[in-house]
Amino acid sequence: MSDPGAPAADRADGPSVVLAIADGVATITLNRPAALNALTIPMKERLLAALAEVHADARVRAVVLTGAGRAFCAGQDLKERLAPDPPPLDDELRLRYNPIVRAIRDLPQPVVAAVNGVAAGAGASLAFACDLRIAADTASFVLAFGRIGLVPDSGATWTLPRLVGAARASEMALLGDPVSAADALQMGLVSRVVPADALAAEAAAIAGRIAGLAPGATTATKRLLGGAFDHDLDVALAAEAAAQAAAGAHPDHAEGLAAFVEKRAPRFRGG
Ligand code: T3D
C-alpha cells in the first residue's frame, strides 16, 4: 500500500500502516517508529482501510495489531495538532478515532494487541479495544491525555473500567502514571508478558491457534464476550443458546466431533 498523503519522512520509512496476511492471520503494524507510531490523519485513514480489508477477507481468522520499533503507539501526533488549522477535536474523534475503535470491535476476527512498547493516549485506547493484549516486558501503558489538558478518548473511558475495574481505571485516567507490563499483568490489563524479543512469535502463535478454530464459533464468542457487561444473566443465557444453536448447526461442529472420535486435528472450513 502506498501512502501518498503521508509526510515525506513517513514515505521514506515505508507506509505508515503495514498489512500482511499469511496462514489465516492478518498482522497490522503501525509504522512510524521515529515518532513512536504517533497517529496522523493519513495513518488513521490507512488503519481504517486495513481494518476494512481484513473485515472483508474471509481467509483471515485472527488479527495481530502491533507497532514497529520501540513503541506500540504514542497516540495522536501532537505535532500535527500544532500545524495551522487542525481539525476540531470532536471531528477528529467522530471521523477517525471512533470509527477505528468501532471497526476493531466489529471485526468478525478476534484481535490480539501485541504491545511491543509504550502505548500512550489513543495508542493505549487502541490496545484496550482489542480482544486480547499481550505485552513485551518493556511495554507500558500511559493515559497521557490529562497532561495535555484532554480527556481519555477513543473508548478508553468505556473499555478500561471493564478491563481493570473502576478504581484502577480512575487512577490510570486521572494520574496518568505509566503502568508497567508487570503491573498490567497483575491488574488483568494484559493476559501475558513475554521477553521483548519473543513478543512477535508469541502473538503469531496465539493468533495462529485462533485461526485454527471454527471461525463462526470464534466470532460468536467474541460477540458474546463483547456484550458481557452490558446485559443481565438472562440475556446472556439467551444469547449463548442462540449462538450455540447456530454453531451446532454448522458443519464445523460435525467436523469437530468427527475429529475428536478419530483422534485427529479438525479441519474447520468456516463460511
Ligand atoms: O486529534 C486529537 O488530538 C484528539 C485525539 C487525541 C488522542 C490522544 O492520543 S491525546 C494523547 C497524545 N499522546 C501523548 O500525549 C503522548 C506524548 N508522548 C509522550 O508522552 C512520550 O513520548 C512517551 C511517554 C510516549 C514516550 O516517551 P519517551 O521518553 O520514551 O520518548 P520521547 O523522547 O518522548 O519521544 C521520542 C520521539 O517521538 C520524539 O521525537 P524526536 O524529539 O526524537 O524528534 C517525540 O517528539 C516523538 N513523539 C512521541 N510521542 C509523540 C511524538 N511525536 C508526535 N506525537 C506524539 N504523540
Residues 222-237: what's their mean pLDDT? 95
Q: Whose C-alpha lies nearest to ligand 1, atom 47?
A: 35
Does residue 226 surpass a pLDDT of 70? Answer: yes
Centroid of ligand 1 to alpha carbon of 1 (angstroms): 25
Chain centre distance of CA 5: 24
State whether 237 and 128 are in the same domain: no
State whether 106 and 159 are in the same domain: yes
Q: Comparing 10 with 251, which gets the higher pLDDT?
A: 251
pTM: 0.96
Contact 144 CB / ligand 1 (< 6 Å): yes
Helices 98-106, 122-129: inter-axial angle, 10-degree rounding: 20
Whether 115 maps to a domain, the answer reads yes
Per-residue model confidence (pLDDT) at position 12: 52
Q: Whose C-alpha lies nearest to ligand 1, atom 40?
A: 35
Nearest alpha-carbon partner for 145 in 124, 115, 168:
124
State whether 206 and 244 are in the same domain: no
Q: What domain range includes position 246?
A: 215-262
Q: pLDDT tens for residues 3-29?
A: 444 444 455 568 999 999 999 999 999
State whether 72 and 154 are in the same domain: yes
State whether 206 and 225 are in the same domain: no
Does residue 239 surpass a pLDDT of 60? Answer: yes
State whether 162 and 243 are in the same domain: no
Per-residue model confidence (pLDDT) at position 215: 97
Per-residue model confidence (pLDDT) at position 14: 80
Whether 2 maps to a domain, the answer reads no
Whether 95 maps to a domain, the answer reads yes
To the nearest whole percent, how much of the chain has pLDDT over 70?
Answer: 95
Mutate to test the pocket of ligand 1, among 72, 73, 78 (most ligand atoms within 8 A of CB): 78
Q: Counting atoms of ligand 1 from 1, which one is nearest the CA of 147?
A: 15
Residues 162-180: what's their mean pLDDT? 98
Q: Counting atoms of ligand 1 from 1, which one is nearest the CA of 96?
A: 1
Does residue 103 surpass a pLDDT of 90? Answer: yes
Per-residue model confidence (pLDDT) at position 265: 96
Whether 122 maps to a domain, the answer reads yes
State whether 194 and 251 are in the same domain: no
Whether 37 maps to a domain, the answer reads yes
Confidence label for 221 from pLDDT (cuts 50, 70 and 90) = very high
State whether 72 and 86 are in the same domain: yes
Q: pLDDT tens for residues 121-170?
A: 999 999 999 999 999 999 999 999 999 999 999 999 999 999 999 999 99
Q: What is the mean pLDDT of the chain?
A: 95
Q: pLDDT tens for residues 38-54?
A: 999 999 999 999 999 99
Residues 240-269: what's their mean pLDDT? 98
Q: Comparing 206 with 12, which gets the higher pLDDT?
A: 206
Whether 54 maps to a domain, the answer reads yes
> Which of these three, 169, 190, 211, is where a domain ends?
211
Q: pLDDT tens for residues 195-205?
A: 999 999 999 99
Number of folded domains that form the chain: 2
Q: pLDDT tens for residues 52-78?
A: 999 999 999 999 999 999 999 999 999
CATH number for the domain spanning 109: value is 3.90.226.10
Nearest alpha-carbon partner for 199 in 218, 178, 181, 215:
181
